[in-house]
Amino acid sequence: MSLVAELKGLKRKQVHSIWASYLGWTLDAFDFFLLVFMLSAIAKEYGTDIKTVAEATFLTLAARPFGAFVFGWMADRFGRRPIMMIVILLFSLFSFASAFAWSLASLFVIRTLFGFCMGGEWGIGASLVMESIPIKLRGPVSGLLQSGYPTGYFLASLIYFLLFDTIGWRGMFMVGIAPAILVFLIRMHVDESPAFEKRRHERPANPWSELVRNWRIALYLVVLMTCFNFFSHGTQDLYPTFLKEQHHFDTQTIGLLAMIGNVGAIVGGISFGIWSEHIGRKHAIVIASLLALPIIPLWSYSSTPLMLGFGAFLIQVAVQGAWGIVPVHLNELSPALVRGMFPGFAYQLGNLIASRNGPIQAGIAESHSGNYGLALALVAGVTIVVLIFWTLIGPQRHEGELSDGHEPPMNVNALGLGLATLGFALGAVLFVFMDQIDTSGETYRALWVGAVALFLGGWAIDRKTPATVEAIR
């Protein structure tokens, strides 16, 4: 059956679930990305530098895994639908409250609370949809769901383009209350997940026990999502600052270039999501990531708006092309009993580890005479290489009902995974603190050699174990 025929065969309630989750993630991202356009303005008002204000993005990202766990556990216990409404309402209110921050410290507190609430949306929305749609539509719908993220960035870019010079950064945050409207639409038109309904009267699973029982796949997914979050945040969060501080573009030019990049992101997410149904989840992620490598110089070192726009479009096709597979890939690999919590928690733990991205890139730029292009290119290049290797290590599951409750064996070699994770962690520490340690010494180089050796050694060991999970027929 063709994709068009599959889409036409969807029931009205399934369509409503898809659009509710897509819009939830869109408006979640919209509220998050309002901040990245205003780092310079906020720094100016509070008399500090951009690197200090960028700590707000770190705090937002760092709070998200805690929200993912708490709200995800609640979704597994009380249902996806009601908890999703609560999450959207709360993060909208905290975005609005950001406009009334009376000091930089108070802004940090409010954005931390915003991040806690924001952390619950993605996992709950993705599980609600993936448990509600036909198998053959998981890939395409996954791409659509994830394209909600760049759509939110696009909307934030548009609001910045149209209103920032008039309403300022406080007025921009007030616009962040808009997502609360979605709560009423979910209340009227969206049904509960069929998978949850089947288990509604069963005793809820203990989330900690499920994490321990599935520790190998949990560890694998956390590292995978660390790479993914460095990939996305490393190419997006400081991009407006790069355009303003290094190229000295005006508000309209920055907003337009950001919108162009996000159009590319939407194209990439949907296209690779569809393609993953034919070539597999892992192959789609690897191909999209490889496409980003040759685009980096065009994206980060061009000097004219035309070439920068071309680079922004292409890099985001690749970045969100890889990301388009994430919702379906994580849900297919997650235990059925805690699917409301597990994918979102793994995603947001990866976000926590990658949450220093903003300050890291700002620090790299400041230590190289304000060269934000170098900071963007360095983080993106390193991340792509690691992401490709880590994706190739792991399992994938393509067929089978997500509501059937059966769990396939996760054929990930524990020794190989452990060594590779250790190498990854060592490399991450060296990378995160590169601006605070002596990078010219022999010890630093030896530690890097050790990190790479552990990572590749673990990968080689794991290759002896079949990496693809058997499909459930």
Give the model's pLDDT for residue 473.
22
Tell me if 326 sits within 8 A of 282, measured CB to CB: no
Please provide residue 351's backbone torsions phi and psi, each rounded to the nearest 5 degrees.
-60, -40
User: pLDDT tens-digit profile of 57-113?
Assistant: 788 888 888 998 899 888 888 888 888 888 888 888 888 898 898 888 898 999 899
Q: Can you give the CATH number for the domain in which 234 is found?
A: 1.20.1250.20
Q: Residue 440 above 60 pLDDT?
A: no
Tell me if 74 sits within 8 A of 337, measured CB to CB: no
Confidence class for position 463, pLDDT limits 50, 70, 90: low
Question: Hey, which bits of 101-195 come out as E strands?
Answer: none
Give the model's pLDDT for residue 469.
38
Q: Residue 277 contacts by C-beta under 8 Å, 6 or more apart in sequence?
A: 136, 138, 139, 140
Give the model's pLDDT for residue 313.
93
Confidence class for position 342, pLDDT limits 50, 70, 90: confident
Give the chain's radius of gyration (CA, Å): 21
Whether residue 94 is contained in a domain is answered as yes
Q: Who wins on pLDDT, 288 or 471?
A: 288
Query: Residue 131's domain spans which residues?
Result: 13-400
User: pLDDT tens-digit profile of 184-222?
Assistant: 677 667 777 777 777 776 776 777 887 788 788 888 888
Give the model's pLDDT for residue 472.
25
**Rounded to whole angstroms, what are the CA distances from 144 to 20, 23, 129, 222, 375?**
12, 10, 11, 23, 30
Q: Residue 163 above 50 pLDDT?
A: yes
**Rounded to whole angstroms, what are the CA distances from 91 to 24, 111, 123, 167?**
11, 9, 15, 21
Q: Residue 272 above 50 pLDDT?
A: yes
Please state the pTM of the whole predicted model. Answer: 0.76
Confidence class for position 413, pLDDT limits 50, 70, 90: low
Whether residue 407 is contained in a domain is answered as no
Whether residue 420 is contained in a domain is answered as no
Give the model's pLDDT for residue 456.
65
User: pLDDT tens-digit profile of 380-391?
Assistant: 888 888 888 888
Per-residue buried b or exposed e for 114-150, using 16+ beta carbons within 10 Å of the residue's own CB: bbbbbbbbbbbbbbbbbbbbeebbbbbbbbbbbbbbb
Distance separating alpha carbons of residues 302 and 215, to the nearest angstrom: 44
Confidence class for position 29, pLDDT limits 50, 70, 90: confident
| Stretch (H or E) spanning 457 | helix 442-462
Whether residue 417 is contained in a domain is answered as no
Mean pLDDT of the chain: 79
Percent of the chain clearing pLDDT 90 (strictly above):
7
Quick one: average pLDDT of 279-304? 89
Q: What is the 3-state secondary structure (H, E, C) of the chain?
A: CCHHHHHHCCCHHHHHHHHHHHHHHHHHHHHHHHHHCCHHHHHHHHCCCHHHHCHHHHHHHHHHHHHHHHHHHHHHHHCHHHHHHHHHHHHHHHHHHHHHCCCHHHHHHHHHHHHHHHCCHHHHHHHHHHCCCCHHHHHHHHHHHHHHHHHHHHHHHHHHHHHHHHHHHHHHHHHCCHHHHHHHHHHHHCCCCHHHHHHCCCCCCCHHHHHHHCHHHHHHHHHHHHHHHHHHHHHHCCHHHHHHHHCCCCHHHHHHHHHHHHHHHHHHHHHHHHHHHHHCHHHHHHHHHHHHHHHHHHHHHCCCHHHHHHHHHHHHHHHHHHHCCHHHHHHHHCCHHHCCCHHHHHHHHHHHHHCCHHHHHHHHHHHCCCCHHHHHHHHHHHHHHHHHHHHHHCCCCCCCCCCCCCCCCCCCCHHHHHHHHHHHHHHHHHHHCCCCCCCCCHHHHHHHHHHHHHHHHHHHHHCCCCCCCCCCC
Whether residue 254 is contained in a domain is answered as yes
Whether residue 5 is contained in a domain is answered as no
Whether residue 238 is contained in a domain is answered as yes
Whether residue 217 is contained in a domain is answered as yes
Confidence class for position 259, pLDDT limits 50, 70, 90: confident
Percent of the chain clearing pLDDT 70 (strictly above):
81
Give the model's pLDDT for residue 314.
93
Give the model's pLDDT for residue 209.
81
Give the model's pLDDT for residue 287.
92
